[in-house]
Amino acid sequence: MATTNPPHDFPLDRTVPGPRPEASSPQVVTPPPLACDAHCHVFGPADRFPFSPTRTYTPPDSGITDFELLQERLGLERAVFVQASCHGTDNSAMIDAIQRGAGRYAGVAMIDDSFTDDDLAYLHENRVRGTRFNFVAHLGGAPDMDTFWRLVHRVAPLGWHIVLHLDAKDFGTYSSVLDNMPVPYIIDHMARVPAVDGLDQEPLQLLLDRMSTDERCWVKISCAERLTEGRIAPYDDVIPIAQAVVAAAPDRVLWGTDWPHPNLVDMPDEGALLDLLAEYVPDEALRNQILVDNPAVLYSFEDGQP
């Protein structure tokens, strides 16, 4: 089945740092029951789940055991694991993590034309509910668009959504792609708009307009550490951008940590990232909607169940 990359023959020396050994506990936000980290990853362990030979970076192992320690510290119960490019289309580490959650976790896979209908059914049975495409230059750039559309139309009957990882400067380029999307789609990380360019920057205005007019469009208010000027805390310049995104379509917003923060140098404190959500969304009821109700719509989480 199309879930295993060919073996590699070079050492697994890491090329990017790992997350902080231990996050602080949040001081401001108390997550409600069934709160979800809707964007996170698992990397390895590489001796069980080898990295892709075509990867552009090699992270240290950051597997499900470390992630569950983080969840406990933050007070979160659910999670959506998003397949990252370092594992390519081998979704095995993600599926293993989802299975460990016994219904508390879901996933977003990366697939290609080698996946059979049985492969897709297997992913769906294991709580995968979307597929992700990278358009970001440093991760390899845009996919072949003929392949992209073939895959989009193959997963549509499963009720999956499409996750799009775009650079802000390219957001307007793909307007027609979004216009023709046959399923809901998620824009990762607020379209990676640079906070230093402010609220009037064109990519953000295009994003806000799309959120307001297209009910298929969802956005993750994640990765303040990537959007902020200089990529260092406290990320205050991201607050008005996230507030504008939430105001545009509060019922189609997700939040996530992006743990273990691939390709960063200055690693964020996940407890501080969770507390930052109180600045994005001061209203506790709306904040709880973003943490619990919104992800349940896309990921088949059941009320009152893990």
Q: Any idea which residues carry the catalytic annotation? A: 258
Tally the C-alpha atoms within 13 A of residue 119's C-alpha that lie toward its C-beta: 19
Tally the C-alpha atoms within 13 A of residue 28's C-alpha that lie toward its C-beta: 16
Distance CA(272)–CA(237), nearest Å, equals 15
Tally the C-alpha atoms within 13 A of residue 111's C-alpha that lie toward its C-beta: 33
Distance CA(51)–CA(156), nearest Å, equals 28
Classify strands 36-40 and 217-220 as parallel, antiparallel or unpaired. unpaired
The verdict on whether omega for the bond into residue 260 sits within 30 degrees of 0, i.e. cis, is: yes
Burial status of residue 51 (CB atoms within 10 A of its CB: 0-12, 13-18, 19 or more): buried
Tally the C-alpha atoms within 13 A of residue 34's C-alpha that lie toward its C-beta: 17
By three-state DSSP, how is residue 258 classified? coil
Per-residue buried b or exposed e for 81-110, using 16+ beta carbons within 10 Å of the residue's own CB? bbbbbbbbbbbebbbbbbeebeebbbbbbb
